[in-house]
Structure 1
């Protein structure tokens, strides 16, 4: 009986606590998602390839955003975001449950501090310097190269490997005179070494009127400490009326083939992009971009620099649904094998020295 009374008292205490002012703090959880699918028609030197894809403009996803008011202008926040392939129903990001994002933290007058799997600061700067915002045929993150074994690898490998970073801590300052600074540290988790396996990244944004600058840096050290991935970008946009002009320089260096027993080749690419977004009508947006690919990797017998040109259109049928189309091409030379993919899918396998051409027609809806 005594135990029964104790249990009853405990439940009564919980009920009183639930009715207290602290427990009535404002909180919310929002379910959201994006479904993006497209028909992709390309020719990379192997004949015409026609396929249905998911993630041409944006990766298909669903997730939860939550917040709780802690008082004094502070909130506890979290995001859980799952990626999937709309054309097959399979999971994205290697089958991870919340492979796109999974983090928790605080936000308030002094800024935002979050912990978990989250986008690196360099990811955001690189994306905002891109007229295609990372999607369609002209997105800076959608350029690939075909390796000798027929596999494909992202041209900007440091960006691709660390766009989302595990075990990370990110702090973003409040806006101060137009400046915001974002810094990230990701733990390597290697016994006996603080350095090995770690990732550091930073982003400085400055906005004044129609001008915006984005500069960022990222470095990941391999778990054996013998190689690294380095990415940085500097550029910005200028908005005048319905037009937004983009200009940026980005560089990506990959020495992760290095081990204590073998010195591997350095793979290094730079991109110089000049782009434009133009709001033709409130519903219709046009995009165009020219990108100069500069390949300074080790072991090249001749220049494999190239130009990529892309155009795109997006038409909003409503606030949530849009249709889009884009075309891009790249001129390969001296053995280069560059090709164009989508926001989250690989390009077709390229034949050396071919002119790769790709066309997309798709639809995106959100909820």
Structure 2
């Protein structure tokens, strides 16, 4: 459930700073999701130990708190903004590299021609992966490529246009990641240095079709490295490119989705990989949904491949409250140490199994 409050009340801080609210302001929407699971995971280290834990990155979807607003400027033009925080309910902390509004923070203009925004944006790779059956789930393609849920760009300008069943969009970032805490959400590539250049620049594009019975998405993402950047991208000449092509069909009560992400990181250690997935979602009855997905990461010239299988069942008490349970297994190649669970660990070359159950509430 989303709740709108009078814009004037939400803008008290702005008024106190000396700026009056606009006469045509319409409202601010406050919304969120709290999703927490409890998990059992095997082979979390080389000794083969297991762990029981509350994951802090995701359950069935990542938790969040957000604010969106719109002002009618007349003539079909609107001012828009959005602020969204990624939350870790297990400890009450922030995700997305510790940023306060780490999922996005933008302001912009919208009209019949589309929406133009500036700030921290979810880029086109993130939007293209929306067709994945288990997108956002604890066991999903995000385990095989942690960039997928972190496909967000700081210091970015973005465009998104919806034209019937088609969506087109793109982003351009002057400095893709200003956080330096490590990990895929904080890679220390702030850019925007003196003299410009291509250090830490990034651009993404999207073409998407969503019909009543079928849909497809294509995206291309190019990010440059920078001095001191993490994850093997410590030189402005380095590039990491991802191309996504996926789609879905609806058949009876089922939705079948498949796709591939092709990656080429042209850096000191060249990396080429393909990430494939095939998934199905089936509504057994209106309140009960079963999802299953098989994913395969193929790394060229390496034994760092991994295969992941996950199944999830959900029961909706209402439109706002759902309980779920999931099980999964990942098989790693001899040179692979990919955990089944987002943010988890696994002993190198070991297979890993996991089960989790949780509750999700939307407001």
What is the TM-score normalised by the length of structure 1?
A: 0.81
Write out per-residue CA displacement over residues 317-339 of structure 1, whole angstroms, 9 at most, x where no aligned residue: 11111111111111123232221
Match of 1:50 among 48, 52, 56: 52
Equivalent pair of 1:135/1:142 in contact (CA under 8 Å): no
- Encode CA deviations 1:130-166: one digit per residue, 9 max, x unaligned: 11122131x21123xxxxxxxxxxx354x455x1110
Counterpart residue number, 1:174: 162
Aligned-partner Cα distance in 2 for 1:183–1:233: 14
The counterpart of 2:217, out of the listed 196, 214, 224, is 214
Instruction: In structure 1, list runs of 5 or more residues that go unmatched.
Output: 1-13, 144-154, 259-263
Q: Structure 1 residues 23 and 330 mapped into 2: Cα distance closer, same or farther (>3 Å)? A: closer
Match of 2:38 in 1: 39
Q: Which residue of 2 aligns with 1:10?
A: none
CA contact (8 A) 1:307 1:331 kept: yes
Residue 288 of structure 2 is matched in structure 1 by 284
- Closer/same/farther in 2, CA of residues 336 and 110 from structure 1, 3 Å limit: same
Q: Which residue of structure 2 lines up, in the alignment, with residue 149 of structure 1?
A: none
**Any idea what the Cα deviations from partners look like across 1:243-268, whole Å, max 9, x if unmatched?**
1001101122334xx4xxxxx21233
Q: Displacement, 1:307?
A: 2.1
1:79 maps to what in 2? 82
* Mapping of residues 3-42 of structure 1, within 5 Å: 23-42=22-41
Q: Which of the two has higher C-alpha Rg?
A: 1
1:167–1:237 Cα change, 3 Å: same
* TM value normalised by structure 2: 0.82
The offset of 1:269, in angstroms, is: 2.7
Q: How far apart, CA to CA, are the structure 1 residues paired with 2:137 and 2:157?
A: 27
Structure showing greater relative contact order (alpha-carbon pairs closer than 8 Å, 6 or more residues apart): 1
Runs of 5+ consecutive residues of structure 2 not aligned to the other structure? 1-14, 176-191, 227-234
Distance 1:221 1:215 in 2: 21
Using the TM superposition, name which of 244-253 and 332-341 deviates more: 332-341
Question: Which residue of structure 2 lines up, in the alignment, with residue 362 of structure 1?
Answer: 358
Kept in 2, the 8 Å contact 1:114–1:171? The answer is yes
* CA root-mean-square deviation: 2.2
Query: 1:121 touches 1:182 (CA, 8 Å); kept in 2?
Result: yes
